[in-house]
Structure 1
Amino acid sequence: MEKIQLLAFLTIQGIGAASGIVFHNNSLFMVSDNSGYLFEQRLDKSPLVKHSLIKDASVNIEKKRKPDFEAITLKENELHVFGSGSTINRNKKVIYNLKTKEVKETDFSSTYQELKSKFKMSDDDLNIEGALYNNETLFLFQRGNGLTAKNGVFKISTDNQYEFFPIILPKIKHVETSFTDAILIENKIYFLAAAEDTISTYEDGEVLGTIMGIMNPETLEVEKHIQLSPTHKLEGLTLFEKQGNQLTFLLCEDNDTEDLNATIYKLVLNVK
């Protein structure tokens, strides 16, 4: 992967700790790991819109109660939002219909419990940070920043067959990076993975940087990677534009503070 540059694209006031982003119909849709809202920012400079995903939603929910929405993906006319599963409060899946504005909340506890049981993960190890659909199969990206450091990809088929594929990711300094988001573009998965000096899925640690990688969706082999930043914990990735062999991405950052300002970054990548 060639040398690339991460550039500030947009600053959005009113959202902090951005953890997932989708670009659709000239709008940026974002979730935050400490909020109960789906945020919508149109690129025509309209005011930021907040869509409630949970009852009594607020912008900044205390850590022990937050739903920890870490993953968002577009499926047809719906945005699917997933809690991380890292505590009992973080087991929600919410679907937001872009046409009707309807919100459907489901308890994903049984699915997460099945994943932990089947693949021998403790309650402290499960930490879902990215999601995408490949055809009708759901891919969930497990951030291996717990004690057992299990990076990997869960695959859930339409008939509820579960698979888990452990993935070894590159290190930054002495810490293996761990998944923070992933998207599917044609026949490749593009993913983000951050290095954070902690062995907890609950407590934050020193941020050592973020990489971007390309993965084969059939074999889940990591084909290429490059470090994007030595200081930023980039947690959201979306395709902004495709022109020939040039892909332009927008990325969002979890700054691990209560500051309600989100910087959206732009990244241009040439692919063959």
Structure 2
Amino acid sequence: MEKFQLIPLFEIIGIGAASGLVYTNDMLYIVSDSSSYLYQYDLNNQDLTKIALVENSQDHMIKKEKFDFEAITLQGNSLSIFGSGSTENRNKKFTYDLTTSKIAHEDLKPIYSAIQDTLDIASDELNIEGALYKDGVLHLFQRGNGSNAKNGIVIMEQEITFIPITLPKIKHVEATFTDAILVEDKIYFLAAAEDTTSTYDDGEVLGSMIGCLDSATFTVEFTHVISDYQKFEGLTLYKKTATQMELLLCEDNDTDILETTIFKLTLSK
């Protein structure tokens, strides 16, 4: 992939701090790191539906209470939504069955604690920002923007394996994962650079990049800086042809405004 084009595609009113996307069957499913809803946006009718994941769901939760949904992925006909793990409230996983509309939840604290042990990091440095299934095996993308800079892929087999991934710098800060998807045998990812070593407090955004990994060797095949001021956090496949790929992206602009712009990123072969 050598050339790219990034454009704003449409706006959705009613969602703020969008952090993850899944596109399937003309529906765009969106999670926000400050909300306890799963959002369903019908691209044909431009209708937004809010799916409450807990009782008394909120569009905007205060920072210390939020679930911090940063990762969403489709496995079969079920969506899996993961909290980042960076605080006690952020250790939850929700699943939503697209056929039955049933919701289930799971406490990930034991699993996240085991990941922390494997990475040898403190609990406040765990920061899961992306998730995908490859051959039925869950891969979690740890954003290494804490002081120990453990950026990489956590492979959840019988034993937890961590694959460290070093990404280029944007300005003076190394980029770290903010989302990832599997397309055939390639992993396409977003990464951002923020001028902070905290997984809790936001820093100055220095930009975002798109990149590609070989899913077997985890070798970085390319990276392109796509913005020098935006933090893109959500990524999903939209369309693909023999000559190009269209991806949908969302941006976490770290404000309380309930508006989200969906961007289209076109990569040409």
What TM-score do you get using the length of structure 2 for normalisation? 0.98
8 Å contact kept, 1:29–1:40: yes
Aligned match of 1:186 in 184, 187, 204? Answer: 184
Moved over 4 A (4+): none
Equivalent-residue separation in structure 1 for 2:119 and 2:255 (angstroms) = 33
Aligned match of 1:174 in 158, 164, 172? Answer: 172
Give runs of aligned pairs for residues 60-139 of structure 1, distance below 5 A: 60-139=60-139
8 Å contact kept, 2:3–2:268: no
Question: Which residue in the other structure is 1:229 paired with?
Answer: 227
Deviates more, 1:77-86 or 1:47-56: 47-56
Equivalent-residue separation in structure 2 for 1:128 and 1:34 (angstroms) = 15
8 Å contact kept, 1:67–1:89: yes
Unaligned runs of 5+ in 1: none
- Tell me the CA shift for residue 54 of structure 1: 2.2
- Tell me the CA shift for residue 4 of structure 1: 1.7
Deviates more, 1:118-127 or 1:92-101: 118-127
Identity of counterpart residues, as a percentage? Answer: 52
Indicate the SS of the match to 1:218: coil
- Tell me the CA shift for residue 46 of structure 1: 3.8
Equivalent-residue separation in structure 2 for 1:245 and 1:5 (angstroms) = 14
Question: Which residue in the other structure is 1:35 paired with?
Answer: 35
Equivalent-residue separation in structure 2 for 1:83 and 1:127 (angstroms) = 9
Give runs of aligned pairs for residues 242-257 of structure 1, distance below 5 A: 242-257=240-255
Equivalent-residue separation in structure 2 for 1:4 and 1:230 (angstroms) = 15
Equivalent-residue separation in structure 2 for 1:114 and 1:205 (angstroms) = 28
Amino acid of the structure 1 residue aligned with 2:21:
I
Amino acid of the structure 2 residue aligned with 1:241:
K
Structure 1 residues 168-196: Cα deviation after superposition (integer angstroms, max 9, x where no partner) = 11100110001000000001000000001
Equivalent-residue separation in structure 2 for 1:269 and 1:37 (angstroms) = 31
Equivalent-residue separation in structure 1 for 2:108 and 2:230 (angstroms) = 30
Amino acid of the structure 1 residue aligned with 2:14:
G
Equivalent-residue separation in structure 2 for 1:110 and 1:8 (angstroms) = 40
8 Å contact kept, 2:95–2:104: yes
CA RMSD of aligned residues (A): 0.9
- Tell me the CA shift for residue 137 of structure 1: 0.8
- Tell me the CA shift for residue 56 of structure 1: 2.0
Indicate the SS of the match to 2:117: helix
- Tell me the CA shift for residue 47 of structure 1: 2.4
Structure 1 residues 65-116: Cα deviation after superposition (integer angstroms, max 9, x where no partner) = 0000000000010000000000000000110000000000000110000111
Equivalent-residue separation in structure 1 for 2:66 and 2:169 (angstroms) = 30
Equivalent-residue separation in structure 2 for 1:239 and 1:136 (angstroms) = 19
8 Å contact kept, 1:54–1:105: no
Give runs of aligned pairs for residues 184-223 of structure 1, distance below 5 A: 184-223=182-221
8 Å contact kept, 2:231–2:252: yes
Amino acid of the structure 1 residue aligned with 2:16:
G
Equivalent-residue separation in structure 2 for 1:196 and 1:131 (angstroms) = 21
Q: How many residues are matched?
A: 269
1:45 aligns with 2:45: yes
Indicate the SS of the match to 1:219: coil
Unaligned runs of 5+ in 2: none
What TM-score do you get using the length of structure 1 for normalisation? 0.97
Amino acid of the structure 2 residue aligned with 1:258:
D
1:6 aligns with 2:6: yes
8 Å contact kept, 2:5–2:267: no
Equivalent-residue separation in structure 1 for 2:257 and 2:68 (angstroms) = 17
8 Å contact kept, 1:214–1:224: yes
- Tell me the CA shift for residue 136 of structure 1: 1.1
Equivalent-residue separation in structure 1 for 2:55 and 2:217 (angstroms) = 40
1:56 aligns with 2:85: no
8 Å contact kept, 2:119–2:150: no
8 Å contact kept, 2:6–2:226: yes
Equivalent-residue separation in structure 1 for 2:199 and 2:45 (angstroms) = 36
Structure 1 residues 182-212: Cα deviation after superposition (integer angstroms, max 9, x where no partner) = 0000010000000011110000000011000
